[in-house]
Structure 1
Amino acid sequence: MNKTVVIDIVGLSKSVIGEHTPFLQKYIAQKNITTIEPLLPAVTTSVQSAYVTGKWPVDNGIVGNGWYDRVDSEVKFWKQSNKLVQGEKIWDRAKKEDPAFTSAMMFWWYNMYATTDYSVTPRPNYLADGRKMPDCYSYPAELRDELQTKLGTFPLFQFWGPGANIKSSKWIAEASMYTDDLHNPTLTLIYLPHLDYCLQKFGTDISKISIQLKEIDALVEELVTFYEKKGAKIILLSEYGIAP
C-alpha cells in the first residue's frame, strides 16, 4: 500500500485560506480540493470517528464530545478508549488486505487501546494532592518516554484551555515526524488543534487570528515537506469550519 499521511487541521476552511496562509493557498491550488457532506454534531470526536469508520454517529456511537452515561448517571466528556467507537476502523481493514500495513495515530481522539501499531495522545497525571500534571499516553509505552526525553514534556496546558497556542501543535508535529523516522508507518493520522480556540474566541474576523494562521501555515508546510520527501500521499482535512 502507498504511504499515506492524513493531517487534520482543526477549523480549516476556505474562508481562512488567503494572505496569511501562503503555503496552504499555493498547495491547494496545485492539488484537488473538495468538500465533504457535513455531519452533526460538527465536533472533533464525532467527525474523526466518522472519518476512521466511514459511519455516521448513529452507527459508530460517537454522538458528541460527551454524552450522558446511564450507568454512572453523569455527563462525561472526552472519554479516551477506542473501544467506544463502533465499526471497523480503516487501519483494521487495511491490515486485512495487507498484513505488512502499519499505522500511527498521533493525537486523533479515542486513541487509547486502539489497534493501531503506534499511538500518542494527551493523558494528564492526577496526583494525590489534587494537582494535574501534563503528560501523554503512548503505545507502545516506551514511545512516550522516548518522545518526552527528546521533545520535553507534552505541553498539555498549551493544548487545551485559555493557554492554548502553537506549542502543542508543534510538539505533535515533531513527535509525528520522529515516530515516522523510527517506524515508517504506512498510514499516519496527525491532529493539529491550533486554530480551534482562536476561531471560537474571535469567529471569522481574520484580522484577529492572522498570527495563528501564519503559525499553522508554517507548521503544515514543515510537515508536508517532510512527508513529501518520503514519497507519502498527503491528505489535508478538517473537522469543521467557522465561516461567515
Structure 2
Amino acid sequence: LRDTLQERLGTFPLFQFWGPGANIKSTRWIADASMLTDELHDPTLTLIYLPHLDYCLQKFGSDVSRTSKELGEVDEVIKDLVTYYESKDANVIILSEYGIVPANKPVHINRLLRENNLLQIRIERGLELLDAGASKAFAVADHQIAHIYINDPQVKEKVRELISKLPGVALVLDEQGKKDYGIDHERAGDFVLVADTDAWFTYYFWLDDAVAPDYARCVDIHKKPGYDPVEMFMRSKGRAAYKLLRKKAGFRYVMDVVPLNATLIKGSHGSINVPEAFYPVIISGQVPTGSLMEATAVHDVIWNTLMQDEL
C-alpha cells in the first residue's frame, strides 16, 4: 500500500505536516490517500486524521481573523471527503480529537525543579542537556498536562509543595487523584499536573538561552523531553534560507530556526473545566445535535455505526 500511495500521490509531505512550514498540503495528502485506499481495498472502517487546524489554533488561539484562511482550506478538504464517502453509501462521522482553548501563559515546571536542586543537567559541547536519570525529579510536559517523575522518594512531599504553589497549575493529582480521573496507569507520573485553562506546560529546563541544547532551536520532536509547540514558528525566513543554502552547498549545518519564546503560543488543550464553546464536537446521525457525551462514549458511536452497516 505504501508503495502504491507514493507512486500515485508522491511521498508524504513531512515538512508540511509539522514545523514552521506546516500547511494544507499534508492534510490534502492524507485525504487523497484515504480515498485512494478506499477505492483499492474497500475497508470496513477508515479513520482519517486531518491535522490542519492544529497549527493555526495553537499559534493564534481563537482569533478567527488569523485562522479564517486555514478554516476555509480544511473545509474544502472535508467537503471532498464527505462527498466521496457519501457517494459510497458510507456513514460519515466527523469528530474533533480535542478542543483548543486560548492559552498564553507558559509554565516552566522543569525550571522550578532545577532552581530547587531537584533536576540535574549535564554539559555536552558547552550546552545543557536534561539528565533524567540523575535527577531527583523531572517533568514530561504535553500541552496542558504534565507528568512528574520522582527518582528519590524522600523529595516527594517537597515536589508536591512546590508544584502546588506554581502559578498556572490547576490540579496536582497524586495516586488517589489519578484513580479518580482514570489515569492511574503504571507509567503515569508520580504526580500528574493539569494546567489552568489559559496556561500550558513547557519542557524548558535551561535558565540561560545561551546554553540551551542545540535541539531546542530545531524541529526535533524525538530529542526533546516534552512537547514543543514553538516548533511551528521560525526565527526568520532569512536564517532558514541561509541554512538551506549551506545544505545545498554541501556544508555542515544545523537547522536551528525555532525561537525560544514560549509566549508565542496562544492556544492549547488538555485542561478541564473549559467553557463549552471550546469543547470538541462530534457530528453523527447517532448523536442528537447539542447533546453532551463523555469522550469514551465515542467508541460506542463508532461501534454502533459499524453494526448498523452490518445489518
Taking structure 1 as the reference length, the TM-score comes to 0.41
Higher relative contact order (CA 8 A, sep 6+): 1
Taking structure 2 as the reference length, the TM-score comes to 0.32
